[in-house]
Amino acid sequence: MGFNRFPGQEQSVQLLQRSLERGRLAHAYLFTGQDLDELEALATTLAKVLNCERPIKTGGIDSCDDCPHCRKIEGQTHPDVHYVRPESKTRVITVDQLRDLLQEIYLKPNEAPYKVFVIVAADRMNEKAANAFLKTLEEPPPNSKLILLTTEPQRLLDTILSRCLRLNFSGAAAPALAPERQSWLLSLTDTAAAGTKSLLGRYRLLDVLLVELNRIKESVEEQLSAKSPLERYPDAEPAMREKWEDELKAAIEAEYRRQRGELLSLVHWWLRDVWIEVLRGKADAEANSLLRFSGLPGTARIAARLDAERATENLQVIEQLQRSLHTNVQEALAIEVSLLKLHL
C-alpha cells in the first residue's frame, strides 16, 4: 500500500512527500485522525518510502511495494521497523515497553537505511512511560524516526505534543457510514424517539446499544484470534503461548475500546444534530448543512420535545460517559446510568 491509497488525505500526504523529497523529514511525528488502523497504515507506508530500494518519484515520492524492504515492512516482519502497542493488563503502554524501545533505538539499523518506531495509541502511555520517552523523543539518534499515532491527542502530555510535528489525517469530510451502521443508527434514533420517557423505554434504548457493543466485541475477538500466532503455531512452547495469549487479550481489549469509542462518538454526533435542531427552530432551513445525519425522523421528533438547555446537557452526558470509560468503571453500569440521564 502506497501513499496513493489514502483518498481524502492528500493534503497531509503531500506535506510528507515534499519533506521526503527535500530530505527534511522531522525526527518525530504525531499522526492524528479518526481511524487508528488508517494511521498505522500511513505510518507503515512512510516507513516503506524511507527504506524503499526503488522509490517511485512520479507525482510525489512513493514506495514501490515490491522490493524486499517494502514487502517485509508491509508484513510487519522487518527487523528495523518496530511497533509498540498497549499490551499490559491495564491496556496502557508501560515504562518497560518504552525501555525496550530505548534499548533498540540506539542500535544501528540491521539492513535498512532507517529504523522506524511506531507508537500505536500513544495516548495510552502512562505518565512514567511518557516521561522516560521525552529525551529520546526530542533527540533520537541519526537514521531513526519516531511516529506516534492517536485518535485522542488531547490525552497526551504537553511535553510529548511539543516534541512532535503534528499531521492531521482526519480528512476534509466525515467518512460515510457503512450500511449496517446506518441501519443501527436508524434503529437507535427511532427507539429513542418512541416514548423513552418511561423506564421501559429507556431500557429498550439501552438494549439497542448493548446488543451492538456485544456484536462488536464478538467480531473483534473472532478477527484478532484468527490472526494470532496461537492459531498458526499450536505446538509452540507453553511460555510463548502464554505470552501470545496475553498479547491477544490486550489487543482484543484495545481494539474493542477503540470501536466502542467510535460507536459512542456516533451517538454524540447524533445528539449534536438534535441540539442543532433545537437551536435553529423550524424556520432555519440553512442549518440542514450543519447536520451530520440528515433525514433521521427521530432527530426532529426529539428536538421538538426539548429546549436548548436540555439538548446541551445531553451532549455533556455523552462526553462524560466517554471520559469515564477510559477509567476502570463497569461498562454496562456506566452506560445504563448515562442513558437514564438523557433528556429524550
Helix residue spans in 194-330 (DSSP H): 199-227, 229-232, 238-280, 297-303, 308-324
| Predicted local distance difference test score (pLDDT) of residue 195 | 66
**Concatenated DSSP letters for 172-201?**
SSPPPPPHHHHHHHHHHHHHHHTTTTSHHH
- Let me know whether 14 and 157 are in one domain: yes
Contacts for 230 with CB less than 8 Å, ≥ 6 apart:
236, 241, 244, 245, 248
Q: For the domain that residue 94 is a member of, what is the CATH number?
A: 3.40.50.300
State the cell numbers at 180: 449496517
- Let me know whether 191 and 163 are in one domain: no
- Let me know whether 149 and 278 are in one domain: no
Give dist(CA 261, CA 281) in Å, integer: 30
**Concatenated DSSP letters for 303-344?**
HTT--HHHHHHHHHHHHHHHHHTTTT--HHHHHHHHHHH---
| Predicted local distance difference test score (pLDDT) of residue 283 | 46
- Let me know whether 183 and 331 are in one domain: yes
Give dist(CA 274, CA 264) in Å, integer: 15
| Predicted local distance difference test score (pLDDT) of residue 15 | 84
Give dist(CA 76, CA 329) in Å, integer: 34
Distance, C-alpha 189 to centroid of its chain: 25
DSSP 154: G
- Whether the model pTM is above 0.75: no
Which residue, among 123, 128, 130, 133, has the nearest Cα to 101 in the 3D structure? 133
Q: Which helix (H) or strand (E) holds 146?
A: strand 144-150
- Let me know whether 325 and 211 are in one domain: yes
- Is 173 among the domain residues? no
- Let me know whether 157 and 240 are in one domain: no
Lookup result for grid cell 494511521: 39
Range of the domain at 102: 3-168
| Predicted local distance difference test score (pLDDT) of residue 89 | 60
- Is 9 among the domain residues? yes
Contacts for 143 with CB less than 8 Å, ≥ 6 apart:
109, 113, 114, 115
Q: How many structural domains comprise the chain?
A: 2
Give dist(CA 344, CA 311) in Å, integer: 9
- Let me know whether 227 and 154 are in one domain: no
Of the residues 168, 192, 218, the one at which a domain ends: 168
- Is 174 among the domain residues? no
Digitized pLDDT (tens) for each residue of the chain, 344 residues in all: 688 788 778 888 888 888 888 888 889 999 998 888 889 999 999 999 999 999 988 778 999 989 999 999 998 889 999 999 887 566 788 888 888 888 899 888 899 999 999 999 998 888 888 888 888 888 888 889 999 999 888 788 888 888 888 888 876 555 567 888 889 999 999 999 886 567 888 889 999 999 999 999 999 999 888 888 887 788 888 888 888 888 888 888 888 888 898 898 889 889 988 988 887 764 454 455 567 787 788 888 898 888 888 988 998 898 888 878 877 789 999 999 999 999 88
Distance, C-alpha 328 to centroid of its chain: 20
- Is 318 among the domain residues? yes
Using only the alpha carbons of the chain, give its radius of gyration: 23
- Let me know whether 14 and 132 are in one domain: yes
- Let me know whether 211 and 188 are in one domain: yes
Give dist(CA 246, CA 26) in Å, integer: 34
- Let me know whether 139 and 12 are in one domain: yes
| Predicted local distance difference test score (pLDDT) of residue 68 | 93
